[in-house]
Structure 1
């Protein structure tokens, strides 16, 4: 079976299992959705009528099948708090979270790949020592703390960039990007630190392989040996780590979006949890899980490009 088709089949099965687990966890969370909507002062008859209207009195498996069927048809239900379709809420918040995550990935790769490659090509040099120090600090300091430092230093002291909030894309492309620069840097630095260490280790390991020494012995210059022979093989663990970092970025977005007061999916999930808006939480978590698993399938596809041996496997 084709590896990509196999990955897609595994993705569908895993998502089905994950959706059921998410539904069970949300059912175990304390709080009555009917009381959240009507308030604790509502009469028992009114609460019971609303539970029947929302289908909350139906058996657990029936409610799960109804929710899953709605998800497959694009109907995620209505938010208990906002009285708005959950799909609409997610779509609006994605306009912030997707650009934020994309900018964080670009910044992380732009920092880590050159820094890791240069550090590996000159071991124990000045840049290598700087890369090691950067990796240690970046891994040790959480992204929300980096965000607070950026707000205090760059935004408030220098006044160069907004300290928080999002003007909306209707205000123009640059104002929107400007509002996401500091949050994306806060998200990117810890991931860049990890990716720098992985890149450096991968490049050094591949450089010591026999085929690289053979290429050098045949007259290949250090730069040709690096980019033609070392990097295509060293990128495999780097791509693996980059795929794993997507889930870390999503988890970090919950904190960073709240630090910078951004109306993204992370802040939506946080607000829904505080308000016990369970239908919003379970759909957002399922959406996050779908993104993470979809990225894993994409990473498998990239493997077949970087490693031709995977294309001929049966």
Structure 2
């Protein structure tokens, strides 16, 4: 083929490629993801600065804690220089940030181990607890809310409302102690403390996490069930499309699941996104009660010992998880309802 004949073909391929890239770049969903990622960077930076300022304001001397209460001033000063505490606060923060960007989170002031190694050991435990608690809360809330909304004011609805209000009034740490009392002490069905890794046996792993997962999931399930029940009732008796579905002869369960729940799911998604941070934060107390070697326990130990590198890294990861969860919720909005125009709103 001559160069004269090949030129139009290359021009046509170039136009097709440019058109494809233009369509991809103009996608509302892609713009949403890009916008959220760009907003996450200054937000995470602000979180790290705030945590560093709060840790600086805490009473106590990390160098004194590390050296021991009986150490001389020369020994404390040597520890302070080794930990970098002799530098100014801005210098220490910028040093931590530069190391974080390189993948180096510093060294624990308590045991001298790399913070990255500590997080790699503890993060899977916390992610398992949070993931299982989230799934269980949704699995429990959906059928309960549907059963209650099917007949508002009926027996099931009243039972659900009373039980959910009662359980919501119980803090998760009290719930954890009650679960231990019933299932570990009285019935002796489940272990009260300790964690078994998945690689050491799936059954033993599930037995070790059931109680902490229930302590995290039950309050959230009650909250979701109450919200979803109220929204479903509002949809059933206040929306015209529900009357249309009834006029066409659709059954109650079909109306609930295919019509009312689809619209109510948007409110539930918003609630889930807002509560992810609270779920992650709840692991700090729950892991301590059940002696789970996760990030929550690591962060609490870091706060007690003024281990700044550990605490700052844990809070940073918790914030990143919450921001990522909200990003997933925003993407699911666009997937569930393509009419949403993220590109122009």
Q: What residue number does 1:10 align with?
A: 39
Q: What residue number does 2:118 align with?
A: 89
Matched, 1:303 2:339: no
Question: Which of 194, 206, 215 is matched with 2:245 structurally?
Answer: 215
Q: What residue number does 1:158 align with?
A: 187
Unaligned runs of 5+ in 2: 1-27
Following TM superposition, by how much is the alpha carbon of 1:311 offset from its aligned partner in structure 2, in angstroms? 4.1
User: Aligned runs of 1:231-270 on 2, under 5 Å?
Assistant: 231-270=261-300
Q: What residue number does 2:158 align with?
A: 129
Going from structure 1 to structure 2, the CA distance change for 1:192 and 1:159 (only over 3 Å counts) comes to same
Q: Is the 8 A contact 1:233 1:306 kept in 2?
A: no
1: distance between equivalents of 2:199 and 2:250?
53
1:269-307 deviation per Cα after TM superposition (whole angstroms, max 9, x unaligned): 122222222221111111111111111111111111122
**Partner SS state of residue 308, structure 1:** coil
1:185-208 deviation per Cα after TM superposition (whole angstroms, max 9, x unaligned): 111111111000111012112222
**Partner SS state of residue 309, structure 1:** coil
Q: What residue number does 2:5 align with?
A: none
Going from structure 1 to structure 2, the CA distance change for 1:288 and 1:55 (only over 3 Å counts) comes to same
1:121-146 deviation per Cα after TM superposition (whole angstroms, max 9, x unaligned): 11111211111012101210011111
Q: What residue number does 1:50 align with?
A: 79
Q: What residue number does 1:111 align with?
A: 140
1: distance between equivalents of 2:246 and 2:95?
63
Q: What residue number does 1:272 align with?
A: 302
User: Aligned runs of 1:61-72 on 2, under 5 Å?
Assistant: 61-72=90-101
**Partner SS state of residue 110, structure 2:** coil
Deviant stretches of 4+, over 6 Å: none
2: distance between equivalents of 1:166 and 1:233?
40
Q: Is the 8 A contact 1:146 1:186 kept in 2?
A: yes
Following TM superposition, by how much is the alpha carbon of 1:87 offset from its aligned partner in structure 2, in angstroms? 1.4
Q: Which structure would you say has the larger Rg?
A: 2
Following TM superposition, by how much is the alpha carbon of 1:167 offset from its aligned partner in structure 2, in angstroms? 3.0
**Partner SS state of residue 276, structure 1:** coil
Q: What residue number does 1:184 align with?
A: 213
Matched, 1:74 2:112: no
User: Aligned runs of 1:131-150 on 2, under 5 Å?
Assistant: 131-150=160-179
User: Aligned runs of 1:23-34 on 2, under 5 Å?
Assistant: 23-34=52-63
1:38-57 deviation per Cα after TM superposition (whole angstroms, max 9, x unaligned): 22333333333333333222
Following TM superposition, by how much is the alpha carbon of 1:312 offset from its aligned partner in structure 2, in angstroms? 5.9
Unaligned runs of 5+ in 1: none
Question: Which of 200, 210, 231 is matched with 1:171 structurally?
Answer: 200
Following TM superposition, by how much is the alpha carbon of 1:170 offset from its aligned partner in structure 2, in angstroms? 4.1
Q: Is the 8 A contact 2:164 2:226 kept in 1?
A: yes
1: distance between equivalents of 2:200 and 2:259?
47
Following TM superposition, by how much is the alpha carbon of 1:253 offset from its aligned partner in structure 2, in angstroms? 1.2
